[in-house]
Structure 1
Amino acid sequence: NQQTSKFTHSSDIPVEFIRKHVKLRGRLHRITEDGLEIEHIPITLPLISSWRKEPQGLLLVRLAGVALTEPGRLWLQEELRPSQLLWFQLLGREDETLFCYLLVNKGRYFSVNLNEEILRRGLGKTVLVKGLNHDTNTYWKIHRNLLKAELTALRKGVGIWKEESEKENYLEKFKDSWRKIWKKDSYLETTGADFNLKKDSYYDKFRRTYEMWKDSMSNHSLVLKIRELLSCLHFRRKG
C-alpha cells in the first residue's frame, strides 16, 4: 500500500503524490547547505509498525519557492529540534530533491508554514517553485502567499531588507526590468486604465513574461511583484 510504504528515495514517491501535493510525515535528521534530510514516517497501525522492519534512507527536502540565506539556515537549526516531527507537502521534484512546504505543529490546532515564516523574517528571497505545474490554481495560490510573506518583511525592513538602499535598488531594478519585459512581449494594449487582450491566451503569455522577468532578476527577490501578479489574476478570473 503506497499510503503506508516508507519512501527512502525521491524516486520512490509516485508521480500522483506529487501531482496531488500529498502531505507526508517525517522526522528531521539534519540541516545542510543542500536542504533538510528527512526520514519519512509512514502512517501505519502501531501493531504493524512494531514488528515490520522498515527500509533505511533519507529524503532531501528543500523549501519550495525560497532561496534560503545563511542566517535563514541558522534560524532553522535553532527553530527545529533534532529528530523533530514535521509534515512536508509535496509540490515538485527535480532529480533526487523534493521541493515542499514544510509545516511544523505548534500546539494542538496550530501549525507554522516555515517557507512563509522565513520570508516574513527576511531570511530568504522568493524564487519560482521548481517542478510545480504552471497550469494549476495551486501554482498561483502558492506564489501569491510567498510574495505576500516577503512583502511583509520588506515593509518592516527586517532581515535582508534592513538597508533602505537594498529596498530602493531592488525597486528600481524591478520597475526597469518588468517594464522592458512587459513592453517586449506586447500582448497587452492599454487605453487609459483599461486593458484589452488579444486573441492569444493571456494566461500563457503572462506566464512566459513572468518567467522572462524572473530570469532578468535572477539575483533579486520577487517581492513587490505581488501587485502585478494579483492584477493579472484579476483579469484571468474575468477571462
Structure 2
Amino acid sequence: MSPHGGRGGAKENDGNDFLHRLSLFIDKHITAINYSLYFCGGIGICVILYSIRVHKRFTCVSQVPNEFIKKHFKLRGQVQSVHNDHLLVDHKPIISLKNSTVPKPLKINLAGVEYNKEGVQFLEEQALNKQVWFRLIQFKGHDGINCTVSTRKSMFKVFNLNEEILHRGYGKVVPLMGHSTDAFTLRLMQRLLQAEMYAEKKEKGLWKEEETSYFTSSIVGKAFRKIINIFKKGA
C-alpha cells in the first residue's frame, strides 16, 4: 500500500468518525436543539412585532413614525366623527392592551380628495362608528395625516372611500404635495382622476351643475396630469 493511500484513508476515516459523532450528538440533544430554534425564532418575531408597533395606539400625529409614512403602512380604527375636511378615527392596534384612559382620535384626511356636503353625508352613512382601514400617505400639517380610507361591505367587497366619493360626484381631486415622485402616490392619484372623470362624464353629483371640470378643462388640471404622466414614464 502506498503512503499516500494510507494518509488518504486515514483522513476519510477521520471525516466519517466526525460525522458519526456529530450525528450521535444531534440525536442525543435533539429536543434541546429544537427548543433553542423555537426560542430564537420567538425572539425574532418579538423584535419584528415591536418594530411595527403592534401594541402601540397612536393618539396624535407626532406618535406616528416617519417609517410608517414612507412605507405606507395600513392601520385599523373606528370612525368617531365626520367633518367637512377630515375624519376623527380611534386607532385600534393589532394587539390591544388594557388602558384606563380614554384614547384621543387621530385626525385623518382623505388623501387627494376635497368633498362637499353630500360627501360628508356619504361618509357618515358608510363609515361613522364603523371599523375602517386607513393607509398612511403623508403628514398634513402638524395635526393631520393624508390617508386612503376603506371599509368592508362584505367578505368580498371593500370600499375605497377616497375613490367612491369621486366616483359618485361628491368631490374633486386635489394634488398631494411633497410626494410627487412616489410611485404609490402617483398610482393613487391616477385612480382618483379616473374616478373623477367617470363622474364628470356621467354628470353625477356636482358635475350636474358645472360645465367645466377643474382638472380636465382647467389649465391647472392639464398641468397636473402632464406632471403625473412625466413621472409615470420615468418610473
- Does the 8 Å contact 1:63/1:99 carry over to 2? yes
Go from structure 1 to structure 2 and tell me whether the alpha carbon gap of 1:80 and 1:55 turns closer, same or farther (over 3 Å shift).
closer
What letter is aligned with 2:117? E
Partner Cα distance (2:194, 2:112) in 1? 12
Deviation at residue 232 of structure 1 after TM alignment = 3.5
- Does the 8 Å contact 2:137/2:185 carry over to 1? no
Given the alignment, which residue of 69, 86, 111 partners 2:132?
86
TM-score of the aligned structures, taking structure 2 as reference length: 0.69
Matches within 5 A, 1:39-188: 39-44=90-95, 49=97, 51=98, 53=100, 56-81=103-128, 83-93=129-139, 94-131=141-178, 133-163=179-209, 166-168=210-212, 174=218, 177=219
Partner Cα distance (1:149, 1:104) in 2? 18
2:149 counterpart SS class: strand
Deviation at residue 127 of structure 1 after TM alignment = 0.4
* 1:6 is aligned to 2:57: yes
What letter is aligned with 1:105? R
Provide the alpha-carbon RMSD of the alignment: 2.5
What letter is aligned with 2:147? C
Deviation at residue 39 of structure 1 after TM alignment = 0.4
List runs of 5+ in structure 2 lacking aligned partners. Answer: 1-49
User: Deviation per CA, 1:102-127, whole angstroms, max 9, x where unpaired?
Assistant: 01011113211000000001100000
Rg (Cα) greater in structure: 2
- Does the 8 Å contact 1:119/1:126 carry over to 2? yes
Given the alignment, which residue of 71, 79, 94 partners 1:20?
71
Deviation at residue 36 of structure 1 after TM alignment = 0.6
Partner Cα distance (1:114, 1:62) in 2? 11
Go from structure 1 to structure 2 and tell me whether the alpha carbon gap of 1:6 and 1:171 turns closer, same or farther (over 3 Å shift).
closer
Aligned residues: 183
- Does the 8 Å contact 1:86/1:102 carry over to 2? yes
Go from structure 1 to structure 2 and tell me whether the alpha carbon gap of 1:55 and 1:98 turns closer, same or farther (over 3 Å shift).
same
* 1:236 is aligned to 2:228: no
Partner Cα distance (1:230, 1:130) in 2? 13
| Most deviating of 105-114 and 52-61 | 52-61
Go from structure 1 to structure 2 and tell me whether the alpha carbon gap of 1:10 and 1:67 turns closer, same or farther (over 3 Å shift).
same
- Does the 8 Å contact 2:78/2:131 carry over to 1? yes
User: Deviation per CA, 1:170-211, whole angstroms, max 9, x where unpaired?
Assistant: 58952xx3xxxxxxxxxxxxxxxxxxxxxxxxxxxxxxxxxx
TM-score of the aligned structures, taking structure 1 as reference length: 0.68
Deviation at residue 138 of structure 1 after TM alignment = 1.2
